[in-house]
């Protein structure tokens, strides 16, 4: 059928539908048009370009077989209290079928303070595991073979220190660094824009990141050196298009910094990975994932002139949306997570964490974590969604939305380019303001009833306070501090001071790679706070400000 005939038939159809839908005014707020046809997607010449998964620009997936070859990594995010308690949870997850670990660290660890620092009081072990030194990291991975498990660590400002600890644990287990597999988040730009666990100003932070790129390319080649994160940007309130636009703009900044530092793009780009949110709008999320792959492939090929196919592949981890979990009727969250899981799988994720039903109330219980893991396993083995590669390709709606999200995201990336790049856009407050505006609009829509959240602004019920929630006792901080002081008394403190002095000297030389010096300090059992303290003295600390 020609485009003219389709257009004529569409006009007749729309006239009839408009009359019918007049009876349902409560559905008038749906933003999408009512019907999608071949007129809404790009022409045959473009369709030919994106026909196959595993082929540039990877809209349909980065691998030709996708889940027909193997499932995504079921990487459950966990960490709380002490290293001993978190180790028990990790081993429980592995025994239950998890195929990768994802480490959550407590707030003091995330911002580079030891558990005995006054600023850490009341926060030790609360939102993740407390890691003060190599001694804690040894306990965290006790009886877990680092040569067999893939580990992701959600750590940013002190990522170099935690990675050094992981490498040192591998050494003690007899696993060489070139056999270690995993990811550090290591994405500081989104901390300035959306999350807040930064330490140093942007420029020295970018130096640390490029130092990691260079060190790992030679010494830890199987390690993903950064997980450029849109997850927290979305959690802060961005739209789907903003999530991938601001994140890819950060990715561009990291590539530019690495190239400026003398690295060849193909030497590090293949180990870059991304981290996306899976929100409630299933089909929009699928389109977002597809659009993100296409944009990154074009950026790497056209802007950075990457030659290797792997450099152009956007590989990503997904986590279901924490901000969409509700404290009201928490069992509804099981359904939400199942839908978000389906979106991630249909969108072609490489690994996935599923949130637990009780996380809007507390840290997840073992029972809730099991349900979350089983959700992934049911989708993998029972739903049929993993049996077909890119199952929604060819859907007029999904293809049109993929194009729309790509267009919106590219417009944002162009604006950021015009400002001088992501670092300048963040320093000017532009990205923060865009996220804040989107978050405000979302909240106003919820409060006005234009957007329905089941159990929150509609279908409410009277309910009893939930029982059996996991709480971290304040005694954890006391215990962790006592262990830290005991470790300091036993270590070779002269060796520690020498390593820290050497690190300070290296920090003062902009041309020196800091990773070997951080690793040497870690091996002496210098603490996270001591190492970050040295860098604080040389680099200073970042203070948030917005100037529009």
Predicted confidence band of residue 94 (pLDDT cuts 50, 70, 90): very high
Percentage with pLDDT > 90 across the chain: 81
Nearest C-alpha neighbor of 399 from the set 44, 11, 159, 14: 44
pLDDT band at 24, cuts 50/70/90? Answer: low
pLDDT value at residue 41: 74
Question: What are the structure tokens assigned to 339, written together?
Answer: 């839908």
User: Which residues neighbour 440 within 8 Å (Cβ) at sequence distance 6 or greater?
Assistant: 237
Please tell me the distance from the alpha carbon of residue 311 to that of residue 305, in angstroms, as a whole number.
Answer: 10
Give the C-alpha distances (Å, rounded to integers) separating 224 from 237, 435, 457: 27, 27, 41
Say how far apart CA 419 and CA 433 lie, in whole Å.
14
In which band, very low, low, confident or very high, does the pLDDT at 360 lie, cut at 50, 70 and 90?
A: very high
pLDDT higher than 90, residue 545: no
**Alpha carbon of residue 322 to chain centroid:** 12
For 407-466, the pLDDT digits (tens) are: 999 999 999 999 999 999 999 999 999 999 999 999 999 999 999 999 999 999 999 888
Q: Write out the H or E segment, with its range, that includes residue 299.
A: none
- Residue 434 φ/ψ region, left for φ over 0, alpha for ψ in the -120 to 50 degree band, beta for the rest: alpha
Q: Is the pLDDT of residue 356 over 90?
A: yes
Dist CA 206 CA 301 (whole Å): 23
Asked if the model's pLDDT at residue 273 lies above 80, the reply is yes
Q: Which two tokens stand for residue 369?
A: 């974590």
CB neighbourhood size of 442 (10 A) = 15
Cα separation, 464 vs 327, in Å, equals 12
Q: pLDDT band for position 120 (50/70/90)?
A: very high
Query: How is residue 152 written in tokens?
Result: 């992701």
What phi and psi values does residue 360 have, to the nearest 5 degrees? -80, -10
Highest mean pLDDT (candidates 149-153, 338-342, 392-396): 338-342
Q: What is the pLDDT of residues 14-23, one digit of tens each?
A: 777 677 667 7
> What's the pLDDT tens digit per position in 451-483?
999 999 999 999 988 888 888 888 899 999 999
Looking up tokens 């059996």, which residue turns up? 468
Place of tokens 């480490």: 103
Kind and range of the H or E run holding 415 = helix 396-419
pLDDT number for residue 431: 96
Helix spans in 22-82 (H): 44-49
Structure confidence at residue 40 as a pLDDT band (50, 70, 90): confident
Residues 288-312 pLDDT 10s: 999 999 999 999 999 999 999 999 9
How many residues can be counted in the chain?
A: 548
Q: Tokens 């009876």 belong to which residue?
A: 23
Give CA–CA dist 132/395, Å, rounded.
51
**CA-to-CA distance for 36 and 402, rounded, in angstroms?**
13
d(CA 338, CA 330): 14
At 242-261, the pLDDT tens digits run: 999 999 999 999 999 999 99
528-539 vs 159-173: helix axis angle to the nearest 10?
140
Taking phi over 0 as left and psi of -120 to 50 as alpha, with beta for the rest, 499 belongs to alpha
What's residue 46's pLDDT? 45
CA Rg value for the chain: 24
158/108 Cα distance (integer angstroms):
11
Q: Residues 446, 328: contact at Cβ < 8 Å?
A: no
Rounded distance, CA 438 to CA 231, Å?
Answer: 15
How far is Cα 337 from Cα 355, in angstroms, rounded to an integer?
7
Alpha carbon distance 495, 134 (integer Å): 15
For residue 404, count CB atoms less than 10 angstroms from its CB and return exposed for 0-12, middle for 13-18, buried for 19 or more. middle
The DSSP output letter for 389 is S
Q: Which of 297, 201, 284 is nearest to 243 (CA)?
A: 284
The Cα 264–Cα 270 span in angstroms is 11
Q: For residues 153 and 183, is the Cβ–Cβ distance under 8 A? A: yes
pLDDT number for residue 47: 44
Among residues 477, 414, 511, the alpha carbon closest in space to that of 214 is found at 511
Give one DSSP letter per residue of 75-86, joined into a string: EEEE--SSHHHH
pTM over 0.85: yes
pLDDT of 384 above 90 = yes
Name the nearest CA neighbour of 159 among 515, 439, 443: 515
Per-residue pLDDT at 48? 43
The predicted model gives 91-108 an average pLDDT of: 92
State the Cα–Cα distance between residues 275 and 41, nearest whole angstrom.
27
Least confident of 139-153, 226-240, 458-472: 458-472
Give CA–CA dist 436/422, Å, rounded.
17
- What is the SS3 assignment for 141? coil
How many CB atoms lie under 10 A from the CB of residue 117?
17
- Structure confidence at residue 50 (pLDDT): 45
pLDDT at 51: 64
pLDDT recorded at residue 548: 47
Q: Is the pLDDT of residue 233 over 60?
A: yes
**Whether the predicted pLDDT of 28 surpasses 90:** no
Q: Where are the alpha helices (DSSP H) in 307-358?
A: 309-312, 332-346
Task: List, in order of start, the domains of the chain with CATH numbers.
Answer: 47-61+72-421 (3.20.20.240)
């Amino acid at each position: 059928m020609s485009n003219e005939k389709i257009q004529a038939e569409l006009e007749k159809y729309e006239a009839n539908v408009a009359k019918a839908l007049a009876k349902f005014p409560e559905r008038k707020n749906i933003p999408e048009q009512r019907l999608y046809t071949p007129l809404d997607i790009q022409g045959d010449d473009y369709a030919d370009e994106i026909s196959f998964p595993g082929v540039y620009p990877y809209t349909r997936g980065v691998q030709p077989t996708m889940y027909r070859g193997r499932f995504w990594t079921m990487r459950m995010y966990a960490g709380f209290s002490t290293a001993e308690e978190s180790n028990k949870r990790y081993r429980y997850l592995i025994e239950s079928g998890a195929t990768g670990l994802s480490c959550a660290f407590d707030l003091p660890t995330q911002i580079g303070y030891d558990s005995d620092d006054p600023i850490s009081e009341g926060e030790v072990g609360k939102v993740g595991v407390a890691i003060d030194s190599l001694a804690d990291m040894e306990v965290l991975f006790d009886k877990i073979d680092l040569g067999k498990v893939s580990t992701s660590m959600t750590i940013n400002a002190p990522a170099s220190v935690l990675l050094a600890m992981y490498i040192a644990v591998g050494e003690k287990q007899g696993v060489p660094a070139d056999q270690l597999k995993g990811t550090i988040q290591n994405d500081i730009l989104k901390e300035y824009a959306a999350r807040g666990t930064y330490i140093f100003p942007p420029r020295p932070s970018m130096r640390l990141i490029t130092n990691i790129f260079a060190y790992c390319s030679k010494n830890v080649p199987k390690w993903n050196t950064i997980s450029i994160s849109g997850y927290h940007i979305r959690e802060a309130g961005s739209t789907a298009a903003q999530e991938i636009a601001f994140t890819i703009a950060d990715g561009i900044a990291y590539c530019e910094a690495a190239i400026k530092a003398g690295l060849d793009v193909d030497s590090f780009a293949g180990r870059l990975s991304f981290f996306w949110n899976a929100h409630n709008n299933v089909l929009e999320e699928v389109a977002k994932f597809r659009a993100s792959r296409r944009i990154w492939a074009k950026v790497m090929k056209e802007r950075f002139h990457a030659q290797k196919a792997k450099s152009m592949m956007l590989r990503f981890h997904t986590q279901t949306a924490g901000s969409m979990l509700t404290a009201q009727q928490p069992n509804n969250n099981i359904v939400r997570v199942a839908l978000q899981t389906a979106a991630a799988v249909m969108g072609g994720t490489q690994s996935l964490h599923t949130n637990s039903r009780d996380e809007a109330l507390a840290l997840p219980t073992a029972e809730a974590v099991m349900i979350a893991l089983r959700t992934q396993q049911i989708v993998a083995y029972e739903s049929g969604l993993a049996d077909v590669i890119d199952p929604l390709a060819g859907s007029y709606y999904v293809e049109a939305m993929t194009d729309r999200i790509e267009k919106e995201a590219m417009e944002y990336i162009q604006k950021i380019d015009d400002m001088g790049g992501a670092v300048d856009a963040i320093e000017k407050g532009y990205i923060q303001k865009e996220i804040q505006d989107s978050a405000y609009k979302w909240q106003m829509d919820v409060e006005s009833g234009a957007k329905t959240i089941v159990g929150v602004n509609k279908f409410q019920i009277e309910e009893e306070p939930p029982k059996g929630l996991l709480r971290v006792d304040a005694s954890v901080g006391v215990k962790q501090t006592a262990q830290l002081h005991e470790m300091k008394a036993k270590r070779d403190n002269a060796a520690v001071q020498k390593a820290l002095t050497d690190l300070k000297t290296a920090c003062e030389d902009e041309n020196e790679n800091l990773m070997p010096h951080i690793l040497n300090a870690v091996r002496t059992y210098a603490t996270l706070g001591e190492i970050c303290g040295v860098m604080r003295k040389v680099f200073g600390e970042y203070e948030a400000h917005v100037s529009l």
